[in-house]
Amino acid sequence: MERSSNFRKNKFSFGMGTIGRDMVYTMVSMYLMVFITEVVGVSDQTLITITTIMMVARVFDAFNDPIMGVIIDNTRSRIGKYKPWIVIGLFMSAFVAMMLFTDMGLTGTSYIIYFTIFYILWDVAWTMNDISYWSMMPSLSYDQKEREEIGALSRIFANIGLFVVVASVIPVTNMLGEQFGSKKTGFLVYTGILVIIMIVFQMVTVFGVKEPPVIGGADESKTDLKGMLRALFQNDQLLVTAVAMALFMIGYVTTTSFGVYYFKYVFLNEEMYSVFAIVLGVSQILALLVFPWFSRRHSRKTLYGGAIILIVLGYLIFFFSPANMIFIGAAGILLFVGQAFIQLLMLVFLADTIEYGHLKLGKRNESVTFAIQPFINKMGAAVANGIVGYTLVISGINSLNDGELLSQRGLLIMKSAMMLLPLLLIVLSFFIYRKKYIIDEKTYGEIIEKLVIREEDKKEVE
């Protein structure tokens, strides 16, 4: 009973930490580009430069993620190895997010330099918090179903945060802009509100989570650079998961990053975007709520395959949909129900590769392993930002004046970049998973049994 009570407390304390995190992350990842193009207003040349900087900075920082994972795995403190970096990354991210949503009155080269400095700092700060936060998750339970519960609840809270921002960012920043006399100030105040929420809910995780002991007789020696490379490249299931996740995230982030532009320039109704976001938010949260029910009755491969079918149907309906909320909403529900299932499945796939690597290599590297998630998110966002930024220039959107309409050529370019390319990448990720990923429910159970036997043998020797 004590363990069950502790598990429930850990599950909710950990899951609630995602609410504010994903609010701020959504603001930066999805609406920083909107702020730059629609609020600050920059030339095509400046936009191309900033887009390139974002891509290069994210790719460079992504390769630093495993190093941060090593630092976290090697941390020894009174409050554990995860929480110190959660707190440091939290407050750094809060400060830098505020700085990104102001231009300080700078223009041209001065603004580009200012943006570059704080964008790089954002990547560093977020890396500290993100890797330490998510690598804590697999340490909370060795039971696959319990991990799915933790993951599902975390994704539910994360999606609440995400869709609150998606649904409110346009009307609230417009309202704040009118109140303060500047849309720039409206964005800054709105970001400040999100930052406060993030700090409050992250403190719930820091003070509420208590980690259970490790099983399996893991090597507790510190991880060096050679050990990091061994943990990453000799764990074949981690590599398969990483490739599949990367392809999926590039497609998903590309589609979502086009959202505001699509409703504004294709459907010519920016206000529809908030309604659309509410429909999607509710449907995705409901999908995560029912996931455990489906998980008890179907294998993970079956759930993944069903989710891919929903996503394909959603993209096809969206591509041919007129400016009608019924068709748009139906497409969105299919897309984001499927997406919710896949994101949760990939989270637990990644968690299960830790025990696989533990058995194969003799050492648990939670943070190095979970460094793959922000690595993939950053690479995905870098590629997606590149696709969005260049598409805005090539399609002619960035150079449109108020009242001007997008040409048919520009419309086709945007729809193809937003839907056809992502669909191809997401389907490809599914085939890689089906072909190469071997840790099903039965195999994972065998891994845990072998780790327990190894721990018992070690105790007998001692």
53-82 residue pLDDT tens: 888 887 777 777 788 888 888 888 787 888
C-alpha closest to that of 66 among 229, 183, 205, 188: 229
The more confident residue out of 364 and 303 is 303
378-404 residue pLDDT tens: 777 778 878 888 888 888 887 777 777
Q: Quick check: 212 pLDDT over 90? A: no
Asked if residue 69 is part of any domain, the answer here is: yes
Asked if residue 425 is part of any domain, the answer here is: yes
**pLDDT > 70 fraction of the chain, expressed in percent and rounded:** 94
- The reported pLDDT for the residue numbered 432 is 93
Domain that holds residue 376: 11-209+222-461
Local confidence band at 196 (pLDDT 50, 70, 90 cut-offs): very high
Among 77-86, 88-97, 453-462, the range of highest mean pLDDT: 88-97
C-alpha closest to that of 391 among 60, 27, 44: 44
392-439 residue pLDDT tens: 888 888 777 777 788 888 888 988 888 899 999 999 999 999 999 988
Q: Quick check: 130 pLDDT over 70? A: yes
Q: Quick check: 125 pLDDT over 90? A: yes
Asked if residue 214 is part of any domain, the answer here is: no
Asked if residue 216 is part of any domain, the answer here is: no
- The reported pLDDT for the residue numbered 307 is 94
Q: Quick check: 175 pLDDT over 90? A: yes
Q: How many domains does the chain have?
A: 1
Local confidence band at 365 (pLDDT 50, 70, 90 cut-offs): confident
**In the chain, what are the helix, strand and coil shares in percent, each to the nearest 5?**
85, 0, 15
Whole-structure pTM value: 0.70
Quote the CA–CA distance of 285 and 169 in Å, as a whole number.
Answer: 19
Would you say 142 and 106 are in contact if contact means Cβ atoms under 8 Å apart?
no
The backbone torsions φ and ψ at residue 183, rounded to the nearest 5 degrees and listed phi first, read -70, -30
- The reported pLDDT for the residue numbered 459 is 65
Q: Quick check: 195 pLDDT over 60? A: yes
Asked if residue 3 is part of any domain, the answer here is: no
Q: How far is CA 73 from CA 155, 382, 386, 393, in A?
A: 24, 26, 32, 43
Average pLDDT value over all residues in the chain? 85
Quote the CA–CA distance of 113 and 33 in Å, as a whole number.
Answer: 16
Q: At what angle do helices 2-16 and 183-208 cross, to 10 degrees?
A: 170
**pLDDT > 90 fraction of the chain, expressed in percent and rounded:** 28
Local confidence band at 2 (pLDDT 50, 70, 90 cut-offs): very low
Picking from 48-52, 245-249, 366-370, which range would have the lowest pLDDT averaged per residue? 366-370
Asked if residue 457 is part of any domain, the answer here is: yes
The more confident residue out of 180 and 232 is 180
- The reported pLDDT for the residue numbered 279 is 78
CATH value at residue 387? 1.20.1250.20
C-alpha closest to that of 183 among 38, 308, 340, 318: 38
Asked if residue 6 is part of any domain, the answer here is: no
Neighbours of 227 (CB within 10 A): 19
Mean pLDDT of 109-120: 92
Would you say 295 and 155 are in contact if contact means Cβ atoms under 8 Å apart?
no
Which residue's structure tokens are 């995230």? Answer: 249
Local confidence band at 1 (pLDDT 50, 70, 90 cut-offs): very low
Quote the CA–CA distance of 231 and 305 in Å, as a whole number.
Answer: 29
Asked if residue 17 is part of any domain, the answer here is: yes
- The reported pLDDT for the residue numbered 87 is 95
C-alpha closest to that of 207 among 21, 72, 83, 367: 83
